[in-house]
Amino acid sequence: MSALDAGHMLALYLLGAFAAVSVILIIYLSVKRKQLPVSGIISVFMVAALLLPCIFYPSVELLYAHPSGDPRMQVEFFLSAVSDGRISDGYDVLYGRALYGAGVAGGASNGDAGADAYAASEISYENSVVNPYYDEMAERYYRILTDSFSCELAGEMVVCDLDASVPVKISYADLSAVTSRAGEILDSELEVLVQSNPRRDVYNDDDTYRDWVIDEAYRSASEKAFSESPEMITRELVISLKYYDGMWNIQPSDELLNILGGGVCGFPSSERNILDKIALYSNNAKSIVLADLVYIPKLYSIPEDAIAGYEPCDDKYHELEDPFMIYEVAAESDHLIGGADLAFDPGVTFAPGQKIYYYADDSIFTVVWKEFCNNCYCNFAEVFISDPSQFRRKIAGDTFGYSAQMYASSLAAEANAVVAMNGDFYKFRSLGICVYDRVVYRCESSLDTCFIDSQGNMIFSYAGELKDKEAAQQFVDENDILFSLAFGPVLIDNGVPKPNLAYRIGETMQRYSRSAIGQIGEGHYLIMTIGHVYPYKECCILQGAQEIMMLKGCVNAYTLDGGQTAEVIWRDRPYSYVDWGVERTVSDVIYFATAVPEDEQ
């Protein structure tokens, strides 16, 4: 009986009342007057015939009255509300709380009334008090979804008795794709925060990110993901309707409800319900994005045009009293050392009575020691740096060709060097290819040249290869060269020791104080001088220096000026013993500096 509207039910009640009165009248006449009028009997049967279809209607679906209205109009009303972002109106239609043309906000014919109703139904995180997860992020997800809906009819309507079906096409934003995009952007946002703030403000003591860093990186990544045009999902489905209570009613299928929830908020039954579900999704999305949070080390660098490095921190200088403590000390600089093998070996024969020192901060780890190696007393400094800009050259007066010369220790002090050594003493002779600040100042090609590129790599050219200044400048430009060292010869090239060390300068075949620089790996260097370690006076021919650099693991190695020029500088003082016990004035040094600014140390 529920399939009949109120008007039809009234008619049915009147017919029933008429039939009841007729039966009572027939009974009365039969008892009191002993009559059974034929007309009365006929009337009862006629009324019964009229009542039977209504009584059996629910079983046989025999139409008592044909349904009125166009089911497609109700679907269009629903689609219009969803497309316009009036989700509350859409749910009213979906659950029978609104009928097309019944005066509820939504249709094009309602004009300002629709806008007013939409404004009245506006729900945002400011007035949402039912869900603790609902915040600005959830609000953004909600707005992306509701603003993205696009709906249209997609085929012919089919009506069968009290059932109808209308094919539609609905497009909506893929919220999971927005979440994935935020995850893709997150690392770059973390990188910005890490590099633009002091390390102490970014990391906790256990090297985990501080909460504000995670929150800000996630917020920024999400904002960028939200600002992009969302990926869309398009679904074709059939909306089913049934006619009852005098109107066509949309049947809220699981597929339709899932679409209204953006595919991530299962089967919301109202706008308030979808807000709650999106709030939960937003909270879970943050957990998903942050699940694989990567550690991004703070990167430090020194501007290329800086005339000095940052001033080292006195508190970072230490003495290594037990050589075997090097492993514990090095572990604290694992972000610089990684899996590299140390050239420093605690099991070697160290120079008696000579101290071992190290310096360690977030950008540099270096250790200096004196060792008896290959029948020579050697002064070593092993260096790990985080950025190539920390491998630098300092020339007197900061101008190529400057007339005055300075002690190497004074040049190291001016440069804020953590550790330094003598350079090529370019002013002492007019030989070799000299590059400074990417410019070729001198091109005399009778010597091997060691070029240092912008990545801190040692690149060699051999005597006679670059014959003129133009060719040399082209080589510099093509290889991104910052400066050169002009002494030589090359000792080791790409892991291969140079077989013939006869050379124009440097007394290669005599026992002489030596100096050399080697590269072991990326950002990993070894500087060495061989000379007097008081009270011993052990020097070597150049082949001995080559063998030691090979033994220490150098892939590339190059000879620098020896004799009284050779020295290792530590804390602005000579660490190695200088020939004759007195520094000589020189034109240049090479050095390694910290890249941590003074205000972050």
Question: In the structure encoding, which two tokens stand for residue 598, read together?
Answer: 């003074």
From CA 201, how far away is CA 194, in angstroms rounded?
A: 9
Question: Any idea where the domains of the chain sit in the sequence?
Answer: 6-60, 71-291, 314-600
| Per-residue confidence (pLDDT) for residue 257, from 0 to 100 | 86
One-letter amino acid at 559 equals T
Whether 358 and 320 have beta carbons less than 8 Å apart is answered as yes
Question: What pLDDT, on the 0 to 100 scale, is given for residue 292?
Answer: 79
- What pLDDT, on a 0 to 100 scale, did the predictor assign at position 1? 37
pLDDT at position 90:
84
Q: What is the pLDDT of residue 58?
A: 45
Output the six-digit token pair for 443: 């091109």
Cβ proximity of 533 and 375 under 8 Å: no
What pLDDT is attached to residue 105?
Answer: 37
Phi, psi of 80 (to 5 degrees): -65, -45
Q: What is the value of pTM for the model shown?
A: 0.66
**Which residues are paired to 364 by β-bridges?**
385
Burial annotation 187-217 (CB, 10 A radius, 16+ → b, else e): eebbbebbeebebeebbeeeeebeeebbebb
**Measuring CA to CA, how many Å separate 148 from each of 131, 175, 276?**
24, 10, 19
What is the structure's pLDDT at 44? 59
The predicted structure's pLDDT at residue 246: 82
Nearest residue to 370 (alpha-carbon basis) of 423, 420, 323: 323
Mean pLDDT by 10 residues, the chain (601 residues): 50 66 69 58 61 51 62 90 87 72 40 37 44 75 91 92 93 92 93 90 88 93 93 94 88 88 75 79 86 81 95 97 96 92 96 94 96 91 97 96 94 98 90 96 95 97 95 97 96 96 89 95 97 70 95 97 94 92 94 94 84
How far is it, in rounded angstroms, from Cα 280 to Cα 501?
73
